[in-house]
Structure 1
Amino acid sequence: MTFLRAKSLFVGCCTAFVCCFLLLGCQKSGKKQKLWGGDEEEKLQVAIPASFTADSIQKLTVKLDSVFRHFHKKRGFNGTVLVTKYDKVIYKNAFGLADFFKKDSLTVETAFQLASVSKQFTAMAIMMLKEEGELNYEDSVQQYLPDFPYHGITIRQLLTHQSGLSNYTYFSDKLWPDRNKNLTNEDVIHLMVTHRPQPYYPPNTHFDYSNTGYSLLASIVEKVSEKPFAEFLRERIFEPLEMKHTFTYSPDFLTLTGKIATGHTRFRQKRTTDYLDTVLGDKGVYSTVEDLYKWDQALYTQKLVKHETLDEAFTGGILHKKKNQTEDYGFGWRIRPLDNGDTAVYHGGLWHGFSTYFLRNPKEHSALIVLSNLPNGSFSYLQELRKFLYPAHPDSVATKDQKLAVRGRRR
């Protein structure tokens, strides 16, 4: 009996040793660890009302096409659009040119620089590492970037724009010696360590939108994962979701195959890249409306993180709101109420000739994705478009907001 117990103990120890060895091996190889027992494909379901019929979809599609053709002809909208409702694509189209000099037309497969819409991918990378036990939101920046000169700033504060740090896109103009040399995330940190630009606010006292914070988050992802940030996004997010036309900026990105839009000034002149484009995390992701639809749908599953983890990204984290402030900010997403009473999570972006907008209404699994390479003010129509898609009185077909579609048809 003693021999059998000893043999059982030996086998158990060996099994535990092998399991630990395999687990460490997976961690070192960068493979995602399954930390929960649920089905990663389990998708959040949405109740589809009886009014959402093939006929109603067709009518809404016609109205949306009329609206966007009006925006293209009368307001100069140049870009691509995709609209969903109850997980179904009800409208997608492309308007205008990818390059006004070459005169090549845009398609829904054309990739655009997402500008600040890129921040949601940076936040997802952080959430994935947090779920795997590699970091915590309350960790200080110094735990991962030891030379960082500003104390009392946490990962959570970087995610929610409450670090108070000054904007690297401004202080780099003064501190970077050679504008012909690309600036990297590591260079941003070096400038901060060497010159210590004055923060705007003490941490956790103000919401102050910070590109610097998200560039630091990308550096933390690199430090923790031991791989370049662009490679992490590609291996852990883009490839698993089959986002085949999504990538991050690099100096040689124009050698990539596929259609890529050129950014323009409001006067349709080509907008060239500069030394700031190589900093990632706050911007730098290129994608298409169709790939962003794949991203939208993945956020209703557990392919990347658990539902509970993602819920926090969509929960407001601003501690000190201004009077009458209705918007909030989570992890890489702005949060705002819609006229119909639902709560939307969204983000916009503007960078070097590109304007982008991505809004999701999780309650009805709908999305509005608009990408443009001509920032000429034509995005001013977005408020009208939100009111049209999410009217305060959806049963009234004669509301002022819904006349938007009628006006578009008449013109």
Structure 2
Amino acid sequence: MYRSTSKFYLVMMMGILFSSLLTRAYAQKKILFVTSNQAFYGNSKIPAANHFEEIVIPYHLFVKAGFTVDFISPEGGAIPIGYINSSDSIQKKYLYDVFFMDKLKHTLKPSDIWTDDYSAVFYTGGGAAMFGVAENQTIQNITREIYNGNGVVAAICHGTAGLAYLKDDAGKSLYSGKKITGFPNKFESREKEYYKTFPFVIDQAIKSNGGNFVYSDKGWDSFTIVDGRFVTGQDPSSASKMAHEVMTLIEANTPDLQKETTKNLDKVFSEWDNAPNTPGVAAGLLKNGKIVYLKAFGSADVNRQLLNTADTKFQIGNMSRQFTAFAILLLEEQGKLSLSDDVHKYIPQFPDFGYPITIKHLLSQSSGLADFSALKEIAGWRDKDLFTQQDALDLILQQKKLDHIPGTKFAQTASGLILLTEVVKQVTGQTLAAFSQQHIFQPLGMTNTLFYDENELIVPDMAVSYQVGKNGLKNNYINYSIIGTTNLYTSAADLSRWYVNFENPKIGSKKLIEKLTSPVTLNDGITTFNPTAGRLLYGQQYQHAKRGVPKIWTFGLEGGYASNIFIFPNQNVTSFVLGNNNRYNGALAMNMATEVLGDIFPAPANIDFDKLKTIKLTRQQLETYSGHYWDSEHVASRRIYVENDTLRYQVLGSNDGSLLVPISENIFQMVVNGDDVIIVKFRKEGGTMKMVYTSGESDEYVYEAYKPINHAATALTEFTGTFYNNALKTTYTLSQNEKGLFTSNKNQPLISFTPTQTDLFLSSSRNFGSIWFTRDKRENITGFYLNSDKIKNLFFEKIKH
């Protein structure tokens, strides 16, 4: 339904007053076009249509100026178009623009509209405009609310018929005494059959409703009337002039505060000014549930010279996961499932691991399942291979054992989200893509959003995924059709609508939104999951402080697509950036947020280590902590060493170490650029030195000291051979060269191994993690267990020496 403008009240005078003024100062740069579904004149068989020129000319000018245009019709869906002049370059351009024509094929229903989003409403003309629009009460209400919100009302030619019954809140004419024009009765072919079907004469209808109808006797001379915030044009020749007049009024009605802030936000994206040959970004910012900034920069398709717009579709990678979680919570709210349900209820073929795995376990990343994406790489799939949803499910269902009892530990895995798509399918009879389209995207007016679950599907207005290299741009193709974890395409305008729903839910309840943004827990209902990214929420996002201020965030990186979102819940600010520019866009999104948030941060942007209270330790004291440390849970090795009388922290395999400054005898803070407080503590347990790493409010990452093993070249020979995993039907041959032990198969690049402890080797591949060799009673190697942060105890049996 259309939404009324929210009212603000003063609490804690200074802070809330500024917030309220700031929100009111912003206006979304969107314009709503009103069209008609009428295919015939009245009840006749005479074809009627919406006037193509009267649509595309103002549309072209509005979009070029940075506005987003939405289309509605009384019934929604396809509208008839006519009066097309294909010799006109602009009309021809849009006639063959797949994205634009798709918008006309899928116009929104009046009930889809949130009036706070729009700065203007524009009634388009054509014979069809005489039918179904003027009497539509919801469209009248929409127009009145946009006008009451300081918006502009425009109508061209027969589109003025849509103003015939417009009233204000008191039931009086919305344009009483104002000059209004439209297609005058004088120029109608009154002897024609089409004219006899008209429900009223435009001139008389406007006069009857208190308006002052005027027109030009000459006609087709761009006659346009501006009276207050009403802009009307007599015939198609007025289209261009009308568009400029509408934009002039919007600019005049824009407060200086908004203009200044918009200008400052534009500076964040200055590198894309006049850069049509460079992949770019689209950005959105919301304040107090209102869209206050929405712009796009750079090119969606360099070859075709198509610029990014607020409606351009980008893949958002891991940011897709919140929609999967939302769908599950929506079904829970509808009573169609319970988070405590055993997954076997919906997926009977799911293996029996001896413990029930519930929907909550899948959502909370505590199922104990191995990550399918890591299994995919280990099984030998290449990036260029076509990978489907069924392929992902097959890898998950082939698992033989769990890493831990479900609900007793956390371990991040994408497998649970893939299984949740199957739960949705079994509960609703629809794929997640179809369910989301019908029950989430369409009701929220997210017409440019979809889960891409068919590789051969042609999607209009989709930004090209680029790889930016030394030799220029290359296409960075994505060859999979999996959903649930990734592969959601959306636009900046649509993502704005999604986050508006968080503030004033139209789909789902406030309680659902609260659950989506609450921390996941284990079976005890208390223990939360706090990796270095932040506290994991049910919406698969993270809660992490930015300079002392709580924020919710996540990101997505797939191919050349890169997306970031930052939400500051206490300040009601949401900032995001989507891109096809093959880079991490977090700095852009954060810079937007900080521009609006202002000086609210208690902590500095960069820690001043000169002011940090530290103590002095001798070299001998520092050497106490030197050595190698191993984290078996996360399969990671670290080296601590002393250099120039300072302690250093080094990730095994990297060249440089980070400086650690002592803040107590056994507690150190890492010197970093930024505001992250990274603490490294040392403690002895049972004679063994342990190192505890935390970042901000993260859980502890515990490393245990060990002495590295340096195998002689001859000793490495016993680790060579061929090893096979039955579940994945995958073979790896371990060989030896002058650098040590390595492996590869036909689809994998070379993976090298560094010995760390007896029979334990750390690999150069994250998903391969480490391998721990097993031996029989005669000390002969029988195989190895592969362990990483995503897979535990995946066994490869030795089948050949």
- Shorter-normalised TM-score: what interval? 0.7 to 0.9
Whose radius of gyration is greater, 1 or 2? 2
State the TM-score, normalizing by the size of structure 1.
Answer: 0.75
Q: How far has the Cα of 1:352 moved from its partner?
A: 1.9
Partner Cα separation in structure 1 for residue 449 and residue 424 of structure 2: 19
**Counterpart selection for 1:119 from 308, 312, 321:** 321
Match of 2:343 among 141, 144, 147: 141
Match of 1:393 in 2: 600
Give the direction of change, closer, same or farther, for the CA distance of 1:91–1:122 in structure 2 (3 Å limit).
same
Aligned residue type for 2:539: F
Query: What's the CA shift for 1:81?
Result: 0.6
Distance 2:605 2:377 in 1: 46
1:217 and 1:161 map into 2 onto residues whose CA distance is 12
Q: Please report how far the alpha carbon of residue 141 of structure 1 lies from its aligned counterpart in structure 2 after TM superposition.
A: 1.5
Distance (whole Å) between structure 2 residues aligned to residue 124 and residue 177 of structure 1: 30
Amino acid at match of 2:374: Y
Q: Percent identity?
A: 22
CA distance in 2, matches of 1:216, 1:42: 39
Of 518, 533, 536 in structure 2, the residue corresponding to residue 315 of structure 1 is 518
Bigger shift: 246-255 or 226-235?
A: 246-255
Counterpart CA distance in 2 for 1:115 and 1:360 is 18
- Shift of the 253–316 alpha-carbon distance from structure 1 to 2, 3 Å rule, reads same
Structure 2 residue aligned with 1:359, among 550, 554, 566?
566
Find out whether 1:272 has 2:477 as its counterpart.
Answer: yes
Alignment of structure 1 residues 180-219 onto 2, 5 Å: 182-193=386-397, 195-196=398-399, 199-219=402-422
What TM-score, normalized to structure 2?
0.40
Q: How does 1:1-400 map to 2 (within 5 A)?
A: 49-51=16-18, 52=22, 53=25, 54-70=255-271, 78-149=280-351, 150=353, 151-175=355-379, 182-193=386-397, 195-196=398-399, 199-251=402-454, 254-256=457-459, 258-267=460-469, 268-274=473-479, 277-318=480-521, 319-321=527-529, 326-339=534-547, 341=549, 343-391=550-598, 393=600
CA distance in 2, matches of 1:158, 1:246: 25
CA distance in structure 2 between the aligned counterparts of 1:89 and 1:273, rounded to whole angstroms: 31
Q: d(CA) in 2 for partners of 1:379 and 1:363?
A: 20
Letter matched to residue 552 of structure 2: V
- Once the two structures are superposed, residues 167-215 of structure 1 have per-residue CA deviations (whole angstroms, 9 ceiling, x without a partner) of 212212444789887443343233333x316655543344333222111
CA shift for structure 1 position 159: 1.4
Q: Give the stretch that moved more between structures: 219-228 or 325-334.
A: 325-334
Residue by residue over 1:57-98, the C-alpha shift from the partner in whole angstroms, topping out at 9 and shown as x without a partner, is 322211111122158799x98211111222333322212121
* Conserved 8 A contact 1:315-1:329: yes
Structure with bigger RCO (C-alpha 8 Å, 6+ apart): 1
Change (3 A) 1:99 1:199: farther
Mapped to 1, the partners of 2:283 and 2:601 lie a distance apart of 23
Other structure's SS at 1:345 match: strand
Conservation of the 8 A alpha-carbon contact between 2:574 and 2:593: no
Deviates more, 1:49-58 or 1:297-306: 49-58
Cα distance per residue 1:262-321 (max 9 Å; x no partner): 1122423111121xx211111111110001111111222342222112211111124354
- In structure 2, how many angstroms separate the alpha carbons of the residues matched to 1:46 and 1:264? 44
Q: Per-residue deviation at 1:381?
A: 4.9
Unaligned runs of 5+ in 1: 1-38, 402-411
- The CA deviation at 1:44 is 8.5
Q: Partner letter of residue 259 of structure 2? A: Q
- Structure with bigger helix share is 1
CA distance in 1, matches of 2:583, 2:534: 27
Partner of 1:19: none
Query: 2:578 aligns to what SS in structure 1?
Result: strand
Code of the residue aligned with 2:466 in structure 1: it is H
AA aligned to 2:478 is T
Q: Is the 8 A contact 1:247 1:287 kept in 2?
A: yes
Q: Which residue identity lines up with residue 279 of structure 1 in the other structure?
A: I
What CA RMSD, in Å, does the superposition of the two structures yield over aligned residues? Answer: 3.5
Range moving further from structure 2, 182-191 or 363-372: 182-191
Deviates most, 281-290 or 370-379: 370-379
Instruction: Give the conservation status (yes or no) of the 8 Å contact 2:327–2:436.
Output: yes
SS class of match (2:296) = strand
- What is the identity, as a one-letter code, of the residue corresponding to 1:361? F
Aligned residues: 355
